[in-house]
Amino acid sequence: MDLFEKCDKYTYADEIKEMGIYPFFHALESKQDVVVTMEGKERIMLGSNNYLGLTSDKRVAEASSDAVMKFGTGVSGSRFLNGTTTYHHLLEEELADFLNKDYCITFSTGFQANLGVISALAGRHDTIFCDKENHASIYDACRLSYGRMVRYEHNDMMDLKRQLETHEENRGKLIVTDGVFSMSGEICKLPEIVELAKQYHARILVDDAHGIGVIGKGGRGTASFFGLEKDVDVILGTFSKSLASLGGFAASNQTVNNYIKHNSRPFIFSAALPPANIAAVRKSLEILKSEPEIISRLRDISAYCKQQLKQNKLSILDTAPTPIIPLYTYNPIRTLQACKILFEKGVYVNPVLPPAVKKEDCMIRLICTANHTKQIIDKAVSIIAEVLHSLPFEPAMPEDML
């Protein structure tokens, strides 16, 4: 069999392009904001992870620009060798202090943070207990580690307990969960996870990519939200959402941090984050700490958006105080049609399709940011309601197109 045969047989993207409902790779022509210019037209942005609106903050941009002038555009090496700058050390100290952890290590992407930490920590004699709705980076990290991966039903603590009970006592145990789940906006059941971890002598890793800057005291994330910072062994996060840049981090204790720094292949063999990215994160973190009212604005506008969607008789999942709002469209064709029409009418949203969800649970993921206003939300919700109420519930896409 030819290696590229699978490529020749892949027709899904071409088929939905022919149907005129291909929703991906729309090109931005302006900075990320609540209203963007995309393909020659202004669109209300309801699909960005720019939770605190800091990617368009002049202070963040200026900090990044100053770092370019001081350090250049890149470091031309890995952190392990010539790629560490004073800015890397400063950010790691500031993040550790912010998260009430002893140490922190940064990675070039959030994906790499999960990959680098989990693959380093989980060895042949260890088992990783993974929530079924964890991010793809966690799944890849589990697969690329030497540990055994055991999946438990989403946020199902009885199933997690059952899995832990059948676990061999002489194996190391790591429970890995998203803090805020990226598709649903749900928060993990951290108090119950902590209880089970203590009972079965397991360690806990929380990927808080969507929790940092969103929930918890001063935006400190899921562990802070529940008052369990001391009980979570490793807190991971990303800089590409609330912190307005690119990269990832892991905060833990000294021994874990030291082990990861000297054993994580993605950390050792990847070029370090450019100082401009680091400077943007540091400035964003400074703003978050000095202006905690940003989080209140985010919470309030998210609640308002959910309220308006419900008043317009739209089906949403509303289980947590997070800015991620799943709006059910139920099947792939209807979802893609809705995204196309909304884009044409000036609203950008993200489709959520199989395999991320079941065929019958397709959705549009709406995301609010602290800079959205009620006026913008009202306009967007009015358009969304008009479009979805006008679309019939078409049959789901055939199996061969999934």
Cα 303 from Cα 342, distance rounded (Å): 22
Q: Per-residue pLDDT for 65 more than 50?
A: yes
Inside any domain, residue 52:
no
Is there a single domain that holds both residue 259 and residue 327?
no
Name the residue range of residue 333's domain: 12-45+292-401
Encode pLDDT of 361-379 as tens digits. 899 999 999 999 999 999 9
Contact present, 173 and 203 (Cβ < 8 Å): yes
Is there a single domain that holds both residue 210 and residue 326?
no
Is there a single domain that holds both residue 299 and residue 276?
no
Inside any domain, residue 87:
yes
Q: Select from 182, 244, 231, 189 the least CA-distant residue to 208.
A: 182
pLDDT reported for residue 400 = 41
pLDDT reported for residue 399 = 45
Burial of 9 (0-12, 13-18, 19+ CB in 10 A): exposed
Last residue of a domain, one of 221, 256, 290: 290
Burial of 240 (0-12, 13-18, 19+ CB in 10 A): buried
Domain count, the chain: 2
The packing angle between helices 190-199 and 157-165, to 10°, is 10
pLDDT reported for residue 358 = 85
Any idea what the Cα angle at residue 205 is, between residues 201 and 206, rounded to 5°?
135
Mean pLDDT of the 337-349 span: 97
Inside any domain, residue 171:
yes
Q: What is the DSSP secondary-structure string of 242-310?
A: TTSSS-EEEEE-HHHHHHHHHH-HHHHTSBPPPHHHHHHHHHHHHHHHH-THHHHHHHHHHHHHHHHHH
Encode pLDDT of 140-175 as tens digits. 999 999 999 999 999 999 999 999 999 877 899 999
Is there a single domain that holds both residue 309 and residue 397?
yes
SS3 104: strand
For the chain, count helices (H), then strands (E): 15, 13
pLDDT reported for residue 228 = 98
Q: Which residues, other chains included, contact 221 with Cβ-Cβ below 8 Å and sequence gap of 6+?
A: 99, 179, 206, 208, 211, 212, 214, 215, 235, 237
Is there a single domain that holds both residue 67 and residue 145?
yes
Encode pLDDT of 20-31 as tens digits. 999 999 999 999
The CA-atom distances, in angstroms, between 4 and each of 1, 7, 9, 10 are 9, 5, 9, 10
pLDDT reported for residue 11 = 94
Whats the size of the chain, residue-wise? 402
| Residue located via tokens 């598709």 | 183
| Residue located via tokens 């997070």 | 322
| Residue located via tokens 């050792």 | 268
Last residue of a domain, one of 267, 290, 313: 290
pTM of the model: 0.94
Encode pLDDT of 198-236 as tens digits. 999 999 999 999 999 999 999 999 999 999 999 999 999
Cα 379 from Cα 386, distance rounded (Å): 11
Tell me the sheet residues that pair with 37. Answer: 42
Inside any domain, residue 192:
yes
**Six token digits for residue 33:** 């904001």
Is there a single domain that holds both residue 102 and residue 136?
yes
Is there a single domain that holds both residue 320 and residue 253?
no
Encode pLDDT of 264-304 as tens digits. 999 999 999 999 999 999 999 999 999 999 999 999 999 99
pLDDT reported for residue 370 = 98
Is there a single domain that holds both residue 334 and residue 250?
no
Last residue of a domain, one of 290, 318, 342: 290
Is there a single domain that holds both residue 320 and residue 266?
no
Q: Per-residue pLDDT for 113 more than 90?
A: yes
CATH number of the CATH domain containing 84: 3.40.640.10
Mean pLDDT of the 46-68 span: 97
pLDDT reported for residue 394 = 60
Cα 9 from Cα 225, distance rounded (Å): 47
Inside any domain, residue 1:
no
**Six token digits for residue 120:** 């380093």
**Residue type (1 letter), 372:** H
